[in-house]
Amino acid sequence: MTSIVEEIIKDKLGTTPDKISSLSGGSINDAFCVSCSKNSWFIKLNSKEKYPGMFEAEANGLRLLQASEFIIPNVITYGDHSEYTYLILEFINTHSTDQIKWGIFGNKLAKMHGSTSETFGLNSNNYIGSLIQKNDQQKTWVEFYANQRILALSEIAFNMGLLSSSEIKNTERFCNELEALIPIEPPSLLHGDLWQGNLLCNKESLPVLIDPAVYYGHREMDLAMLFLFGSIPNESINEYELEYPLEKGWKERMDIHQLYPLMVHLILFGSSYHGSVSSVIKKYV
């Protein structure tokens, strides 16, 4: 694989790497740090047949996030090479999030969520993990969350034998309850896949965001994702609320917005997530 990386760097950046080091790229990508005398880049590759347009969508998402105050890797270029597709980014030296300045993270997240749009969604689809994420724009969050998130994934899960017909009916009932459950807010610029693994910090302990699944949505989506497989300190939430106060009851309805990533995991990783998906739906129907 390093020979492929060297070919891409020579062809696209016009230089010969001094060193190519393998990095963790998650479950679907191969990732590398490429160094030459004056620069270092992060490059990741995957199959252009399996994941068409993935890196173009990621590049667009990173560029949207650069409107925020977070540190976001600069996009150098992306494209296809042989049977691979690739994305080349600025390389940022990162450290354990144990060192992150959590108050600054909360403040910057609130400011990012203050960036808005006329509609919920995005002008193109992208990916969450290896799953295509539909972003057809709609006027209300309830419509968008029901149609582009929950109902779209429940159909996939049903076709895979992961949800029964009765569970599909319960999912539809869940969606019918959303208007009464979720406070109306303007669309917020979301990272879209803000679990702990996509939050890093640089050598100054400032927050760095990577691997987005960007769209404009209800800001409680990002918060729900942060708390799905972990948590963030109260300091972070306090600083968030000083900048952009949350609506009362956001913690109690967090599972409503956790249903989407749980359904993503059900589809990608199988029936071990069925109980979590089912329990959220049953709570509201």
Tell me the catalytic residues: 193
3-class SS of residue 256: helix
Measured CA to CA, the distance from residue 21 to residue 226 in angstroms comes to: 30
143 Cβ neighbours under 8 A, 6+ residues apart: 120
- 72's tokens: 């976001």
Strand bridging mode 30-35 / 40-47: antiparallel
Judged by DSSP in three states, 130 sits in coil
Structure tokens at 109: 């997240």
| Strand 199-202 to 207-209 pairing | antiparallel
Query: Tokens for 179?
Result: 């208007």
29 Cα distance to chain centroid? 15
Structure tokens at 284: 């509201």
Q: How far is CA 254 from CA 47, 154, 260, 261, in A?
A: 35, 19, 11, 12
How far out from the chain centre does Cα 133 lie?
10
Chain centroid to CA 126: how far? Answer: 10
Tokens of 8: 């891409």
Q: Are 32 and 43 in contact (CB under 8 A)?
A: yes
Query: Cα separation of 285 and 154, whole Å?
Result: 16
